[in-house]
Structure 1
């Protein structure tokens, strides 16, 4: 049983660990070089491969020479765990027993990029991890196994990612023996019952104060540390908001309503700011900012 694995991030690291625990033979790992512009808060698949003397490459699996490498290996399975590149259809046809992906949502909901962040931003109360067969269309192939996780109202995206990480390992632990012996389920995915979301850029963290305090709170906790953060502007200065809480009350959107606590008006309710950071400055308690009730955020 020969495997080629494409993996990155904590899900990739933990799923490879689980495969090794179950005695799987990994012929080659494709992973990524860490980006110098990204905060690297997760475990290194490259270091795991080195520690276990597994050959690995950080060039894209889709490069012609790498496609030929996979063809020569003739793997039984091609597995993808949080690999960031779409894998070409011709590669999906090479493994004798299938190509599978571990996705960080309860498919078919939240197909596409950064599913954990989107689930938190949209105020979902649950998500999950799904192991499914890969087809040309992203996150659309038959489902093998799934595990749900709860999203608490106080959870950040980082908190939820930790839960999804554990759910992913649980799914693989259950599913791998069944994939090996040929008894794994193949449940067709009903795409009409789901949703698709694209990737996010730092600029997508801009706060729209006409939205409700709960919606803005969900955005903040969906992109707070270790992600780029939600932000607003005050007197042409960028202000990152790392922590906040929705409270009852009313005020004009973006208007400072009180200073201690620092509460801002929204389209519905007030938002109490707790941890903030002016661009180029240090993160601080929001009540330490020099503001007045005449200030308005843009």
Structure 2
């Protein structure tokens, strides 16, 4: 089949590479211009660079405007494939090819629709994540599903490890979907809208530690926000401190949420609901980084004790 690819960042590049390696023909690659936006730079591998290396026509645009639609029409695709496209695609475009448009989304839809699904899945305590290929329609990640691949979330997995593992699912899933469509054997499964969960875009506020959460949830939170993502943070004696590594304490700690208790293995921070009852595990922080970029062993950094807070005091 003749394929037009819409994509950006590493997800888009990995998808374009999978298409190039398939038996199908990529006739046009549409991508966004390079961006200085901090989030878009996290996984910044270039779709444009790969397309030009392989002699594939490239169109750079921020949105699917009239020029973009005209170029796609002239490319005469049998299908469009989308992964990591940041702006709205009009029905005139996604219904243009005979086989419509496929979108790749890194979750097991209808769970974790929206943004940063892998991070939210880990933070929420889900047992698995994965990759869904579905038909694009007027909703956000709501179209009929053709292929899903699951990925277990291990007890020590980081957000970065899961994102990379999810990208590794792209070639097999995409080949399965395209070959089934081409052969006329595709089976489409409607999504159950009642099971849909939507997660919003992440911002700096979403990396701030909430000490009312139980320690097991906070430990996952720290693992989810692994480099290159903005790490979990709190404030200590007026300065912002990034929490890079932590474990759940063996014993229970009581008192006021955010109170630091230093011991040989790190700094145990009182957390969780009804902490004053003394029934909660603590989050034992083992490594932190300060605003100057310097990393510290937590036991040494928090030697004076005190409190970790939501804002500078």
Q: TM-score category by the smaller chain?
A: over 0.9
List aligned pairs for 1:1-298, cutoff 5 A.
1-38=1-38, 39-248=41-250, 249-251=252-254, 252-260=256-264, 261-267=266-272, 268-298=280-310
Q: Tell me whether 285-294 or 84-93 shows the greater mean CA deviation.
A: 285-294
Does the 8 Å contact 1:132/1:142 carry over to 2? yes
Residue 56 of structure 1 deviates from its aligned partner by 1.5
The CA distance in 2 between the partners of 1:296 and 1:2, in whole Å, is 56
Number of residue equivalences: 298
Does the 8 Å contact 1:243/1:275 carry over to 2? yes
Does the 8 Å contact 1:243/1:274 carry over to 2? yes
Structure 1 spans left out of the alignment, 5+ residues: none
Structure 2 spans left out of the alignment, 5+ residues: 273-279
TM-score (norm 2): 0.89
Does the 8 Å contact 2:114/2:198 carry over to 1? yes
Q: Could you give the per-residue CA deviations for residues 28-64 of structure 1, whole angstroms, max 9, x where no partner exists?
A: 1122334324244453222211211112223134222
Name the Cα RMSD after superposition.
1.8
Residue 255 of structure 1 deviates from its aligned partner by 0.4
Residue 173 of structure 1 deviates from its aligned partner by 2.5
Residue 297 of structure 1 deviates from its aligned partner by 3.4
2:275 counterpart residue number: none
The CA distance in 2 between the partners of 1:250 and 1:290, in whole Å, is 17
